[in-house]
Amino acid sequence: MFRVSQRTDDQSLLRFSTRDPIAWVDSQQLGLGLAAGSIRREWIWLALVDDKPVARAVWWGPAGSVYPIELRCLIVASSLPHPELWGAAIIRSAHRAFAEAGALFVPEFVVTVDAGRRGDAAIERALAWRREAARQAGASMVVAATRASFVTS
């Protein structure tokens, strides 16, 4: 089942993490984004199995924006096979809801990586399944390379 997050999901949302060596929305960024209005509950989607969250997608938009403009984080539990299928399904579900609410454009999927590690096998694997998820969902994916370091665990 795929659905928008609710206040009762807060603890689960804060516990999400990934070992993938890419930038992701951690608990601090999530809290700050919610407080600033650049991340909203209706822009955070979950995939659930037996009522347990197994995937999380976080969209972002400028404070005051009616709809999100970027997908900033897609995490699928490492225990699940075929993360690209889970990722595509959660992206499609959210984008359908955004369109039904009046969004005119499909948000881009922006993945940020450390420029110094491009070509690293772990980064390429993390990008590959996300790129395939975006393709299957009909979204474009942009890889932003940065020299800044970020925490991956």
What percent of the chain shows pLDDT beyond 90? 77
Q: Which domain holds residue 19?
A: 2-146
Determine the pLDDT at residue 147.
Answer: 63
d(CA 34, CA 43): 10
Looking at the structure of the chain, the number of domains it has is 1
Residue 65 lies in a domain: yes
Residue 132 lies in a domain: yes
Length of the chain: 153
Question: Cα-flanking dihedrals φ and ψ of residue 49, to 5°?
Answer: -130, 125
Residue 115 lies in a domain: yes
pTM summary value: 0.91
CATH code of 119's domain: 3.40.630
Residue 19 lies in a domain: yes
DSSP string, 67-129: S--EEEEEEE-TTSS-HHHHHHHHHHHHHHHHHHTT--SPPEEEEEEEGGGTT-HHHHHHHHH
What integer best gives the mean pLDDT of the chain? 92
User: Mean pLDDT lowest for which of 8-12, 50-54, 96-100, 116-120?
Assistant: 116-120
Residue 152 lies in a domain: no
Question: 53's torsion region: left (phi>0), alpha (psi -120 to 50) or beta?
Answer: beta
Determine the pLDDT at residue 114.
Answer: 87
